[in-house]
Amino acid sequence: MRFTEILAFAVRGVTANKLRSALTTLGIMIGVASVILLIAVGNGASQSVQQSIAGLGTNILTVSPQRAQAGSTTKPLTVADATALADPVEAPAVKSASPVVSASATASHAATSYSVQQFIGTDPAYFGTTNSEVAQGALFSTDDVRQGRKVVVIGATVATQLFPSSQPVGQSILVNNIPFTVVGVLATKGSSGLQDADDIAVAPLSTVQNALAGYGSLSQIVVQATSADKLADAQAQVTTILDGRHKIGYGQTADYRVLSQEQLLSARTATTDTFTVLLASVAAISLLVGGIGVTNIMLVTVTERIREIGIRKAVGARRGSILGQFLLEATMLSLFGGALGVAAGFIGSGFTIAGITPVVVPSSVLLAFAVSALIGLFFGSYPASRAARLRPIEALRHE
Amino acid sequence: MTARSGSTRGGNTRSGNTRGGDTRPVDTRAVNALAGNSLAGSAPTGSASTGSASIGSAPGGGAPVIEVRELRKTYGSGDTAVHALRGLDLVVERGEYLAIMGASGSGKSTLLNVLGCLDIPTSGRYLIDGIDTSEFGEAQLGLLRNRKIGFVFQSFNLIPRTTALANVELPLVYAGVRRAERRARSMAALRMVGLEDRAGHRPNELSGGQQQRVAIARALVTGPAIVLADEPTGNLDTHSSQEVMGILDRLHASGRTVVLITHEDDVAAHARRVIRVVDGQIVESRTAWGVPA
Residue B26 scores a pLDDT above 50: no
Best interface-test mutation with A: which of B34, B117, B118 has the largest number of A CBs within 10 A? B118
Instruction: Give strand pairing partners of A181.
Output: A151, A172
Specify which of A49-63, A84-98, A284-298 reaches the highest per-range mean pLDDT.
A84-98
As a whole number of angstroms, the distance between CA A60 and CA A81 comes to 17
Residue B25 lies in a domain: yes
Looking only at the bridges linking them, the beta strands covering A220-225 and A60-65 are: antiparallel
- pLDDT of A265 reads 65
Q: For residue B171, what pLDDT band results from cuts at 50, 70 and 90? A: very high
**Burial class of residue B169, CB neighbours in 10 A (0-12, 13-18, 19+):** buried
Give the minimum alpha-carbon distance from A317 to chain B in angstroms, rounded to a whole number.
6
At how many degrees (to 10) do helices A319-348 and A362-389 cross?
Answer: 160
Which long-range CB contacts under 8 A does A271-275 form with residues at least 24 apart? Answer: A271/A193, A271/A194, A272/A42, A272/A45, A272/A46, A272/A49, A272/A193, A273/A46, A275/A42, A275/A45, A275/A46
Report the distance separating Cα A31 and Cα A282, nearest Å.
11
Q: Decide the pairing of beta strands B257-261 and B226-230.
A: parallel
Q: How many domains, chain B? A: 1
pLDDT band at A73 (very low <50, low <70, confident <90, very high): low
CA distance A188 to A185: 9
Residue B168 belongs to a domain with what CATH number? 3.40.50.300
Q: Which pLDDT score is estimated for A132?
A: 78
Provide residues of B within 8 Å CB-CB of chain A.
6, 10, 14, 17, 19, 113, 116, 118-120, 138-139, 142-143, 145-147, 151, 153, 157-162, 166, 170-171, 173-176, 218
Residue B42: inside a domain, yes or no?
Answer: yes
Test mutation, A318, A325, A329, chain B, max B CBs within 10 A: A318
Q: Looking at the complex, does the CB of residue A385 fall below 8 Å from at least one CB of chain B? A: no
Residue B81 lies in a domain: no
Q: Using the predicted structure, report yes or no on whether residue B251 has a pLDDT greater than 60.
A: yes
Q: Which residues of B100-138 are buried (b: 16+ CB within 10 A; e: fewer)?
A: bbbeeebbbbbbbbbbbbbbbbeebebbbbbbebeebbb
* DSSP designation for B157: -
| Residue B85 located in a structural domain | no
Higher pLDDT, A70 or A258: A258
Judge contact between B213 and B243, C-beta under 8 A.
Answer: yes
Domains of chain A: which residue ranges? 3-52+267-397, 67-254
Q: How far is the C-alpha of A243 from the C-alpha of A91, rounded, in Å?
A: 13
Residue B44: partners with Cβ closer than 8 Å, 6 or more residues away: B50, B184, B185, B188, B189
Q: Between vectors from CA B174 to CA A15 and to CA B236, what angle results, nearest 5°?
A: 75
Determine, for residues B146 and A16 on separate chains, whether the beta-carbon distance falls below 8 Å.
no
B69 is a domain residue: no
For residue A253, pLDDT beyond 90: no
- Which of B85, B147, B159 is the best residue to mutate to test the A interface, defined by the most A CB atoms within 10 Å of its own CB? B159
- Determine the pLDDT at residue B35: 42
**C-alpha count within 13 angstroms, C-beta hemisphere, residue A352:** 4
Contacts of A318 in chain B (CB under 8 A): 10, 14, 17, 138-139, 142, 174
Q: Domain containing B255: what range?
A: 2-60+94-121+131-287
B70: three-class secondary structure by DSSP: strand
- For residue B79, being part of any structural domain is answered with no
Q: Which of B19, B170, B176 sits opposite A312 (nearest CB)?
A: B170
Strand-strand pairing, B97-101 and B273-278: parallel
Task: Answer yes or no: is B141 within a domain.
Answer: yes
Does a structural domain hold residue B219?
A: yes
Rounded to a whole number of angstroms, the distance from the CA of A389 to the nearest CA of chain B is 8
Round the average pLDDT of chain B to a whole number and report it.
79
Using DSSP's 3-state secondary structure scheme, residue A208 falls into: helix
Higher-scoring residue by pLDDT: A375, B105? B105
Residue A193 backbone zone (phi > 0: left; psi -120 to 50: alpha; other: beta): left
